[in-house]
């Protein structure tokens, strides 16, 4: 088994690269440990809480006990299936804010400013506003990745946006366009009622070409010969060789693990694990970041929420309608309104994100005991806390040690308290008056800083956005793992291209920027000139220095 490019991981970035590399005529082998994404649990958008809790589709990782979150071990789902995490995620599509990518460039990721990456977002998108307005000149309309909006049939979706407006925030017709800040409709990777994962968008079309092959296997390490990556060692199978590049696109958890098992990482840690050091890169596994969130839940005074469908009979009807027609409630992830705001004056672009949901329910599918309700998922976007992924042993079968170090900075607590109080203020606006009965969670008794802190410590959950563990930077940066072309510093023929290369976490959900990384890295791998930079100017709130809204 040999190809020009060997990609480890059929996830968001890996699928995009497979499509672009084979389109250019290169031969590609994609290695994926997980199996098929067929079946309603993955393809039906409303079933999203199932696959991320199923060992068949999820690596099943958990964090180490988190000392600032009452020593809880938090779930860290990663897709173990064709399409990777794009096959088990919530299908929410957020590019990130322009300033996120400008910050990447300032940190040494030359060529990754917003002007550089916007053309790639356009190239990958096939965007349809669904009649809800938007910013068409900022969007792409002929890429492989379908991005659509929900029908927003439930009056609570409009109430959420209107409440944001009443509270004094902007309304934006397209948070992925010129203006992210404000309240408006949510973009989702759903098309014709189906989850439009990276597998559906990129990998299936690529596999129709004779130069693309998918291999099911468990990658144990990269084969390195005289300082050059030459292939991938699989458990119980012959090695797969790469003529041009080995590309790790195995996630922000598994890519650093594979590098360390291959001898690339912090030298002292590798020696302690009994791994021979090939390249001392202390940044491998470091810089781990994520988004945390809490659910602010309200009991509803009218029976208009999705709770009326929270029974076996209704679920069976919704499932049957979806199976036969790909329409109805099963065809939506139910995330159809969004919000991005700033936590305080002096913050120049949004650092709080809202996902609004017309039911009070947890990610594991457990509905609130109170019946009819609705909720906003809310959390800070740019936590200063940093964690790490390290090896448990030199045995590739052992799960890595994942320490997020959540809430380890005082600023995290300040920002999270603001999230709770600002969300309550939105739910107290006149737009929600016809719908609000009382607050379920945290509950009216939770008011002081100490009470809110205790609620956060007990109830904050990961938004499942881990990234940053193979940080991109300049070749002379001791903590950088890859250069701005994605090449691992100190080893020839080896590239990393997934969310692990993010210097800092982006504003919002990570699937869109992860796919963008795959799109852009494909051009670097092929030695093509990058797409021409964009001159579009994003909107920044003119009052940001003196006003929170």
488 is in an annotated binding site: no
The answer to whether 173 and 135 are in contact (CB under 8 A) is yes
Compute the distance between CA of residue 435 and CA of residue 80 in angstroms, rounded to an integer.
40
Nearest to 424 by CA among 405, 404, 446, 450: 446
Compute the distance between CA of residue 395 and CA of residue 117 in angstroms, rounded to an integer.
38
Q: CA 9 → CA 37, 41, 183, 188, 254, distances in Å?
A: 14, 21, 35, 23, 9
CA atoms within 13 A on the CB side of 504: 20
The answer to whether 302 and 387 are in contact (CB under 8 A) is no
Compute the distance between CA of residue 350 and CA of residue 134 in angstroms, rounded to an integer.
19
90 is in an annotated binding site: yes
How many C-beta atoms lie closer than 10 Å to residue 472's C-beta? Answer: 30
Compute the distance between CA of residue 66 and CA of residue 69 in angstroms, rounded to an integer.
5
Q: Would you state the structure tokens that stand for residue 29, as one six-digit string?
A: 């082998």
Strands 494-496 and 240-248: parallel
- Cis status of the peptide bond prior to 367, with omega within 30 of 0: no
407 is in an annotated binding site: no
**Residue among 33, 146, 291, 465 flagged as catalytic:** 465
Indicate if the alpha-carbon torsion angle 418, 419, 425, 429 is positive or negative. Answer: positive
The position carrying tokens 């693309």 is: 212
482 is in an annotated binding site: no
CA atoms within 13 A on the CB side of 540: 12
The answer to whether 407 and 71 are in contact (CB under 8 A) is no
Q: What is the DSSP letter of 538?
A: -
357 by DSSP, 3-state: which?
Answer: strand
Nearest to 362 by CA among 373, 350, 353, 351: 373
Compute the distance between CA of residue 327 and CA of residue 320 in angstroms, rounded to an integer.
10
Residues making up the chain, counted from first to last:
549
92 is in an annotated binding site: yes
Query: Catalytic: 465?
Result: yes
- Cis status of the peptide bond prior to 442, with omega within 30 of 0: yes
For the chain, how far is it from start to end, CA to CA, in angstroms? Answer: 57
Phi (first) and psi of residue 529, to 5 degrees? -65, 140
Compute the distance between CA of residue 464 and CA of residue 89 in angstroms, rounded to an integer.
8
Nearest to 37 by CA among 93, 77, 85, 76: 85
Phi (first) and psi of residue 469, to 5 degrees? -85, -5
Compute the distance between CA of residue 469 and CA of residue 387 in angstroms, rounded to an integer.
9
> Binding site for FAD: what residues are annotated?
81, 89-92
- As annotated, the active-site residues are 465
> Binding site: what residues are annotated?
81, 89-92
């Amino acid at each position: 088994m040999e190809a020009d490019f060997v990609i480890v991981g059929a996830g968001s970035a890996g699928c995009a690269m497979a499509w672009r590399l084979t389109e250019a005529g290169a031969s590609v082998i994609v290695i994926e440990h997980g199996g098929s994404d067929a079946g309603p649990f993955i393809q039906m958008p409303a079933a999203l809480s199932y696959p991320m809790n199923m060992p068949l589709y999820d690596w099943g990782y958990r964090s180490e006990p988190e000392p600032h979150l009452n020593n809880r071990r938090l779930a860290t789902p990663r897709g173990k299936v064709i399409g990777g995490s794009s096959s088990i995620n919530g299908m929410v599509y957020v590019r990130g804010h322009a300033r996120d990518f400008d910050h990447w460039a300032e940190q040494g990721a030359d060529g990754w400013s917003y002007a550089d990456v916007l053309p790639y977002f356009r190239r990958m998108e096939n965007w349809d506003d669904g009649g809800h307005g938007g910013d068409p000149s900022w969007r792409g309309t002929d890429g492989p990745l379908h991005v659509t909006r929900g029908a927003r049939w439930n009056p609570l979706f409009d109430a959420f946006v209107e409440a944001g407006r009443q509270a004094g925030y902007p309304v934006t017709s397209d948070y992925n366009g010129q203006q992210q800040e404000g309240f408006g409709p949510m973009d989702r990777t759903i098309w014709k009622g189906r989850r439009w994962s990276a597998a559906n968008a990129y990998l299936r079309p690529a596999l129709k070409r004779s130069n693309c092959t998918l291999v099911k296997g468990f990658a144990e390490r990269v084969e390195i010969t005289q300082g050059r990556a030459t292939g991938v060692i699989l458990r119980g199978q012959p090695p797969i060789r790469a003529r041009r590049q080995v590309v790790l696109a195995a996630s922000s958890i598994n890519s650093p693990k594979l590098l360390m098992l291959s001898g690339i990482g912090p030298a002292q840690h590798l020696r302690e694990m009994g791994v021979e050091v090939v390249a001392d890169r202390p940044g491998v596994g470091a810089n781990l970041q994520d988004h945390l969130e809490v659910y602010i839940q309200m009991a509803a005074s009218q029976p208009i929420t999705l709770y009326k469908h929270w029974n076996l009979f209704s679920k069976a009807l919704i499932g049957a309608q979806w199976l036969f027609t790909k329409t109805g409630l099963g065809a939506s992830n139910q995330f159809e309104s969004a919000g991005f705001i700033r936590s305080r004056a002096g913050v120049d672009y949004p650092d709080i994100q809202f996902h609004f949901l017309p039911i009070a329910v947890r990610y594991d599918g457990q509905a609130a005991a109170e019946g009819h309700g609705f909720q906003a998922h809310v959390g800070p976007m740019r936590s200063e806390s940093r964690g790490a992924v390290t090896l448990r042993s030199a045995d590739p079968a052992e799960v890595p040690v994942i320490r997020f170090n959540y809430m380890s900075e005082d600023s995290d607590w300040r920002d999270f308290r603001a999230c709770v109080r600002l969300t309550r203020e939105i739910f107290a606006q006149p737009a929600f008056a016809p719908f609000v009965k009382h607050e379920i969670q945290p509950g009216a008794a939770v008011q002081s800083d100490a009470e809110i802190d205790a609620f956060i410590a007990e109830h904050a959950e990961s938004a499942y956005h881990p990234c940053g563990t193979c940080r991109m930077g300049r070749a002379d940066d001791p903590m950088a793992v890859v250069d701005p072309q994605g090449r691992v510093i100190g080893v020839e023929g080896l590239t990393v291209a997934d969310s692990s290369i993010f210097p800092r976490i982006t504003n919002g959900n990570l699937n869109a920027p992860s796919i963008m990384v795959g799109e852009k890295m494909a051009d670097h791998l092929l030695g093509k000139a990058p797409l021409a930079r964009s001159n579009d100017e994003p909107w920044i709130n003119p009052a940001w220095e003196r006003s929170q809204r």
